[in-house]
Structure 1
Amino acid sequence: MRAGIIDAYDEYEDVLRDIRRFTSLAHGSDVLTKALLGNYALLDRGRPLEDLRNSIFRTALSRNSRCPLCERAQICALDHFLPKNEFPEYAILADNLIPVCERCNRLKGDECDRVDGLLMFHAYFDEFPDTEILLAEIHVDDTVSISYSLHRTEKIDDFTFGRVEKQFNILGLFDFYQMEAIAELTDQIDLYDEAYSSFGDSGVRSTLMALTRGAERKSMNHWKAALYRALSRNPEFCNGGYQKLLTSRID
């Protein structure tokens, strides 16, 4: 089966573009499936492909130690983008092995939509939309409340937006980003206090706009970029409302 597996490697990007047209090389063969799945253990420490595993992690760490799925947690595991149980021929293909965090690896699981073809975004082959679709909503009353949502624009086609929604729903990113946002802002109260005492609400707004620009260098739809954009546009937060962060809640 060596020639067939090499051909499957060559077809990998084609499978990503339209997974509905492809069936695993090992489909219907328990023997071949077991043999191909057994290859993954060769990546373990002290096994023949340990250097491949180490190389994948070194490359990822040299670029960004953050998980490409949530953009928050540290990478610590290898995710099979096309699950090895569905496509065991890709069990040790480097292009199919994505360094991710433990949380995202667990939640993604064996996700592989062969019916609608809605795959999640591949860290190596896909670009997340560069137009603003992730929004943060801020409410300042007795506390500061933060919520995230997706907004489809005319620049995003239905298929792409469906993939975005799938990724956020499977990984529970709305709730995850809410919790991270409160922690992020609570840690920065002293920064806002300094800006407010020196320049008032305009100082806080300028600080938030600077933080927005920094986050947007990572991605227009990075969770911090959406957060700081929303905060900079919220007059209540900038005019001292940030002090209510210490009593904040997540709705």
Structure 2
Amino acid sequence: MDPPLARFDAIATAKQLPRSARLLGLKDIVASEYAAYQSACPDLESMPLLPLSEQARGDLLHCYQEETQPLEQLKALIRARQAPEQSAVCQYCVLNAPRTFDHYLPESLYPQFSVYAQNLVPCCWDCNQKRSTAWRNSQGERRHVHLYSDVIDQGVQVLFAEISVAKTPLATFRLELGAAHAHPFYQLLHRHFTQLGLLKRYQDASSAKLNEHHRTIHVQGRHFGRKGCIHVLREQLAEDRRVLGPHNWKVALLQAMLDTPEFIQLALDTPPSSETEKDGT
């Protein structure tokens, strides 16, 4: 018995009779569906809906909706297998803490995958709500990157930021696919960003990050000067791009900072907003 099916078996067995018996009676169907999922990945658009009785559907949904020790162990295992740089943030937006799990194929449509590890993605509440059951567009194309099975093309940077320093520094983000627009992955990435509203969410999150960078530059400037600060920022950008990849909003923001000498000078010349407020009190 393969591990995913063993976990289904453990979760089913933890239920009370007669539900546990009914779930164990569905084990062969679930095994076949797990194999079909794995075979189809990442092109899950082809996965058909499984005809199920209302009772079977309810039992399969109950596997996830009602907490059991085997389910908690499954969730813990999924979290433990995340890379350190991924485990602290939602894998859809890389903004918020992953305090819940999303069913990549919605559990309401595909209840047979309600406790299939390959279908459970640690994510934040915002992304979970935004995804809902809208996993395909009107053309039947997937709307979101599957973090476990999609090959993430990192050869082209398509996420960029611009920083305005007119008053309070403000960053805006944009996607520029350019020649990559014909590549299926970048089309998927564009749908992912659009459906989750990521560009606006990155803009909202960038104020705090810019203030953090402002503070760091201001302190480092006292010791290393302008050239030293820029050198440190370029080293950080290279490391962040290596670890986080070119599609991460923090990479785009840091690149925009280096491309905006006015921001660097502002940070060198003035304390960040929190320090200014303290000085004025």
| Same structural fold, with TM-score higher than 0.5 when normalized by the shorter chain | yes
**8 Å CA contact 2:42, 2:150 repeated in 1:** no
Alignment of 1:179-218 (within 5 A): 179-216=204-241, 217-218=243-244
Q: Deviation at 1:198?
A: 4.5
Q: Indicate the larger mover: 141-150 or 88-97.
A: 141-150
**Higher fraction of helix:** 2
Relative to the length of structure 1, the TM-score reads 0.84
Q: What is the distance in 2 between the residues matched to 1:51 and 1:17?
A: 26
Question: What's the CA shift string for 1:158-177, capped at 9, x where partnerless?
Answer: 53223212221222211221
Q: Deviation at 1:245?
A: 6.2
Q: Deviation at 1:14?
A: 3.9
Q: Give 2:107's aligned residue.
A: 84
Q: Give 1:220's aligned residue.
A: 246
The answer for unaligned runs of 5 or more in structure 1 is: none
Paired residue secondary structure (1:135):
strand
Q: Give 2:20's aligned residue.
A: none
Q: What is the distance in 2 between the residues matched to 1:230 and 1:82?
A: 36
Q: What is the distance in 2 between the residues matched to 1:202 and 1:128?
A: 35
Letter in 2 for 1:75: P
Could you say if the C-alpha distance between residues 52 and 160 of structure 1 is closer, same or farther in structure 2, counting changes exceeding 3 Å?
A: same
Letter in 2 for 1:219: G
Letter in 2 for 1:94: A
Q: Deviation at 1:4?
A: 2.7
Asked which structure has the greater CA Rg, the reply is 2
1:234 to 253, 260, 263: 260
Q: What is the distance in 2 between the residues matched to 1:158 and 1:213?
A: 25
Q: Give 1:129's aligned residue.
A: 153
**8 Å CA contact 1:185, 1:245 repeated in 2:** no
Question: What's the CA shift string for 1:73-106, capped at 9, x where partnerless?
Answer: 2221111011011111111111111111222222
Q: Give 1:110's aligned residue.
A: 133
Q: Indicate the larger mover: 218-227 or 8-17.
A: 8-17
Q: Deviation at 1:17?
A: 3.5
**8 Å CA contact 2:218, 2:267 repeated in 1:** no
Q: Indicate the larger mover: 86-95 or 55-64.
A: 55-64
Question: What's the CA shift string for 1:3-62, capped at 9, x where partnerless?
Answer: 2321110111344443343312236x43332232122235x144x433222322333376
**8 Å CA contact 1:68, 1:123 repeated in 2:** yes
Relative to the length of structure 2, the TM-score reads 0.76
Quote the RMSD (CA, aligned, Å). 2.6
Q: What is the distance in 2 between the residues matched to 1:224 and 1:108?
A: 23
Q: What is the distance in 2 between the residues matched to 1:61 and 1:203?
A: 32
1:11 to 29, 36, 43: 36
Q: Identity over the aligned pairs, expressed in percent?
A: 23
Instruction: Tell me how many residue pairs correspond in the alignment.
Output: 244
Q: Indicate the larger mover: 184-193 or 96-105.
A: 184-193
